[in-house]
Amino acid sequence: MSTAVAGWLQAGLLVGALAVCYRPLGDYMAQIFTTDKPTNKPNKPNKHWWIERVMYRLIGVDADADQKWSTYLRGVLAFSAVSVLFLYGFQRLQEHLPLALGFPAVGADQAFNTAASFATNTNWQSYSGESTMGHLVQMAGLAVQNFVSAAVGIVVVIALIRGFIRSRTERVGNFWVDLTRACVRLLLPISVVFALVLVAGGVVDNFSAAHSVTTLAGQHQAITGGPVASQEAIKELGTNGGGFYNANSAHPFENPNPVTNLVEIFLLLVIGVSLTRTFGKMVGDKRQGYAILAVMAVIWVASVAAISFLESGRHSAAAVAAGGALEGKEVRFGIPASTLFTASTTLTSTGAVNNAHDSLSPLGGGLAILNMMLGEIAPGGTGSGLYGILVLAIVTVFVAGLMVGRTPEYLHKKIRPQEMKLASLYILTTPALVLIGTGVAIALKGEQAAIANPGPHGLSEILYAFTSTANNNGSAFAGLSVNTVWYNSVTGVVMLLGRFLPIVWVLALAGSLAAQRPVPTSAGTLATHQPLFIGMLLGVIILVVALTYFPAQALGPLAEGLR
């Protein structure tokens, strides 16, 4: 079987699995966040599960209170701030904790970077997991943040959807209830099931310390076990990324075979894809969800096809002779499974990798960077991808309204200057962080020693780092040494700003929309479920978002690929 056929079969199987889950999972998530009234009827869900009621009592939350968007935002920020502080302290005290495996406390700058990373759903790692973090920190620190940071992204988009469907109110739900339900009813049960699936596929899950083994060359190597499968499931499901091991999903303990590889790709896509169904169901028009899904699908298919083509070796005599651009690829998976993973992980803010992105062809690596620069909206991170593309949909209907000279509307809500200001702030935040961060890093002579490959590829490494951290992806080009006080500090701040500033604009937008009265559809209303809107939205994504980064791409990946 040719590699091309194998690649198409894997992609087809993946799409089929996503299609099977799309409706039931999307409907289930809609039900989770729209169960408002208690009932004693058989087969009907109660408003709050008993375990949820226990948790509300423990933290002193009025679960029946409906919050204004500003109160909801304060909950998001307060919870995330506590998460950062808790994880920072956990790492700094590691040597005094059980299951520390003899590892010392994590340094202050690296502890801050890691705490910011995992609390923002980025999972950027400037360390090797198996030689830095003990089992308790991995489980009670990092894995817990994998759950709650993913849940934060989901509940923010749910609040935005409520902004579309509510009228003459600034109330968008209860953050604590939404967060609890996202963890207890959605992420935890699915993670348990797929952790067992991964264990059955050969992923390790134990409390083992390092074992010394003798290699074929006669050398001794320490191999650490640990609770890997349980962390791997939520790492992918919550589009967290990172890895228990430095080699990430290229490590056989994390990703033993092609079956587990496909399962992991499925996990990092399934919630983001199914949320479009949730969106359509909650707004009362499933066609709206299908339109957003169509845009995501076009971008995803184009990215997979383009990166696969560029890594197939047709552009290089050496690669043709080798049968493809095999440098940095995991030989157990080959090029098709590697490029499928690469496109999916950089389009979903996951950051997990099963091959070395630094070894991608220049244009292939440039496309991986471009996937993140688009805002990771196909389907994006858990929740963050959908609210990102909905903001771009608002911009699209505004542009369409300018063309025909009437006030634009989206889902029966007028898009006024106030909404456009918030949408503009959302769109400008990430490029500002990426481009300013990259420019400062290049300008500082003291940090230039961190670049292993001076020239266009060195620029690509820095551009990738700030694109990844600002977009909360977490993957990296390996040639940049980021475990320095400057990089740990700056990228930590970039991750925090890249996560929470957009959330501020999105929740303010949700409150602004919820305060409006719905307007009836008229002959001049743009049909936002038809191919015309899908095409316009794709155009806005390319013209407004992608071209913002073109000069930086031209100096890095494009210059390297065309020379």
pLDDT in tens, 120-152: 999 999 888 888 999 999 999 999 999 999 999
Q: What is the pLDDT of residue 497?
A: 98
Give the span between the Cα atoms of 105 and 89, in whole angstroms. 10
Q: Can the peptide bond before residue 379 be classed as cis, meaning omega within 30 degrees of 0?
A: yes
Give the span between the Cα atoms of 200 and 189, in whole angstroms. 17
Q: How far is CA 412 from CA 32, 146, 284, 532, in A?
A: 24, 35, 11, 18
Q: What is the pLDDT of residue 38?
A: 42
- How buried is residue 74: exposed, middle or buried, by Cβ count under 10 Å (0-12/13-18/19+)? middle
Q: What is the pLDDT of residue 42?
A: 45
Residue linked to tokens 């095999």: 326
DSSP per-residue string spanning 276-335: HHHHHHHTT-HHHHHHHHHHHHHHHHHHHHHHHHHHTTTT-HHHHHHTS--TT--TTTHH
Cα–chain center distance at 317: 36
pLDDT at 317 over 60: no
Mean pLDDT of the chain, nearest integer? 90
Tell me: the pLDDT tens digits for 153-205? 999 999 999 999 999 998 999 999 999 999 999 999 999 999 999 999 999 99
Q: How far is CA 338 from CA 197, 250, 259, 367, in A?
A: 21, 10, 13, 14
Contact 513, 413 (CB under 8 A): yes
> pLDDT over 90 for what percent of the chain?
68
SS3 414: strand
* Residue whose C-alpha is closest to residue 367's, from 331, 436, 315, 417: 315
- Cα torsion for 112, 117, 123, 124, to the nearest 10°? -70
DSSP label of 554: I
Q: What is the pLDDT of residue 491?
A: 96
- Average pLDDT estimate for 321-327: 60
Residue linked to tokens 């890249």: 498
Q: How far is CA 35 from CA 166, 282, 292, in A?
A: 15, 12, 24
Strands 210-214 and 171-173: unpaired
Helices (H), 315-446: 317-322, 334-346, 362-373, 384-404, 417-443
Tell me: the pLDDT tens digits for 12-63? 999 999 999 999 999 999 999 996 644 445 444 458 999 999 999 999 999 9
pLDDT at 321 over 60: no
Give the span between the Cα atoms of 225 and 206, in whole angstroms. 6
Contact 365, 457 (CB under 8 A): no
Q: What is the pLDDT of residue 2?
A: 60
Strands 210-214 and 413-414: unpaired
Tell me: the pLDDT tens digits for 383-392? 999 999 999 9
- Average pLDDT estimate for 404-429: 91
Tell me: the pLDDT tens digits for 71-123? 999 999 999 999 999 999 999 999 999 999 889 999 999 999 999 999 999 99
Q: What is the pLDDT of residue 506?
A: 98
Give the span between the Cα atoms of 391 and 423, in whole angstroms. 6
Paired strand residues for 220:
214
Residues present in the chain in total: 563
Strands 409-410 and 171-173: unpaired
- Average pLDDT estimate for 316-341: 71
Cβ contacts of 311 within 8 Å, gap of 6 or more: 324, 325, 329, 335, 338, 339, 360, 361, 364
Give the span between the Cα atoms of 199 and 204, in whole angstroms. 6
Structure tokens at 434: 């990426």
Q: What is the pLDDT of residue 5?
A: 74
Instruction: Give backbone dihedrals phi and psi of 158, rounded to 5 degrees, phi first.
Output: -65, -40
Q: What is the pLDDT of residue 318?
A: 47
* Higher pLDDT pick, 243 / 428: 428
pLDDT at 523 over 80: no
Structure tokens at 265: 């790709």
Is the pTM for the entire model greater than 0.85?
yes
- Average pLDDT estimate for 472-490: 90
Q: What is the pLDDT of residue 323?
A: 54
- Average pLDDT estimate for 228-235: 94
Give the span between the Cα atoms of 213 and 234, in whole angstroms. 30
Q: What is the pLDDT of residue 7?
A: 74
Give the span between the Cα atoms of 29 and 399, in whole angstroms. 31
Q: What is the pLDDT of residue 515?
A: 96
Contact 212, 222 (CB under 8 A): yes
Structure tokens at 295: 């845009």
Contact 68, 101 (CB under 8 A): no
Give the span between the Cα atoms of 368 and 348, in whole angstroms. 11
* Higher pLDDT pick, 376 / 45: 376
